Structure 1
Amino acid sequence: MPREQFQNLTEPMYYILISLLEERCGVDIMASVEELSKGRVKVGPGTLYALLGRFEKEEIIKETEVVGRKRSYIITEKGLVILRDEYERLIKLVRDGEFFLRGDNDGIWK
C-alpha cells in the first residue's frame, strides 16, 4: 500500500501549517515559524516556496491574495485535518515515551 504523502509532517511543514491558521505572506510565514518554534526551526525561502507549492497543489493551503510578487496563503479544511492528525500523532508519541521512560513501567527516568 503506498504511503500517503503528508501522513507524517516534518517540523518545517508542521510549523508552516500552524502559521497559516492566519493569512500570511512568505516573509511573515518564515518569521512566524521561527517565533512559534522559539528559534529552533528556520525555514529559508527555497524550502518555504517548495513546500507552499506542494501544499497548494494538494489543496492543503490556498492562495488568498497576490499583490505584485507578494502572495498570501491560508490553511484549508483539508489542511486543518492534516494538521490535527499530526498533532494527535505527536501526542501519542509523547504519551508512549512518558509511559516507557517515566511511567510505572520501570522507566529509565524515574
Structure 2
Amino acid sequence: MEESLTDSMYFIMLALLKPQHGYAIMKEISQLTAGKVEIGPASVYTILKKLLKAQLIVLEESHERKKIYRLTPLGVETLKAEVVRREKLFRVGEIALKKAGVMDED
C-alpha cells in the first residue's frame, strides 16, 4: 500500500501496535484520542479487510468468536512512514499559519 493511510486506517493501525480484536480496537482508538475519535464497527471491519488484503495486518488467532489482528512487519514500516509523513504535514501547516500571522511564534 503505497498511498497514504486514511485517518481511520492510521488509528486502527496505531491500536494494533498490540494484537487485538475489533471491539478492543475501537476502545483503544477512543482511549488514544481521549474520546475525540470514534470509529464504528462497520467501518472498523471494512478497514480491517482492506488492511488484511494489503498485508499490513494478519489474523493472528480466532477464539470465542473473537478474531485477533496484529500488524505485519510491512504494517509496522508503513505506520512508521505515515507518522513521519503526518509530522511533515503538521510542520508545513504550522509554518504557514505562523507566516500568515494567525498563529503565535513559540
- What is the TM-score with the length of structure 1 in the denominator? 0.85
Q: Which residue of 2 aligns with 1:108?
A: 102
2:56 to 60, 81, 94: 60
Q: Give structure 2 stretches of 5+ with no counterpart.
A: none
Q: Does 1:90 align with 2:86?
A: yes
1:86, 1:62 → 2: CA distance? 19
1:74 to 70, 91, 100: 70
Equivalent residues, number: 104
Partner SS, residue 34 of structure 2: coil
**Structure 1 stretches (4+) deviating beyond 6 angstroms?**
none
Residue identity opposite 2:92 in structure 1: D
Q: Give structure 1 stretches of 5+ with no counterpart.
A: none
Cα RMSD of the aligned pairs, angstroms, is: 1.5
Residue identity opposite 1:83 in structure 2: L
Deviations 1:37-91 (A, max 9, x none): 1111111111111111111111100111101421001111111121111111111
Identity %: 34
- What is the TM-score with the length of structure 2 in the denominator? 0.88
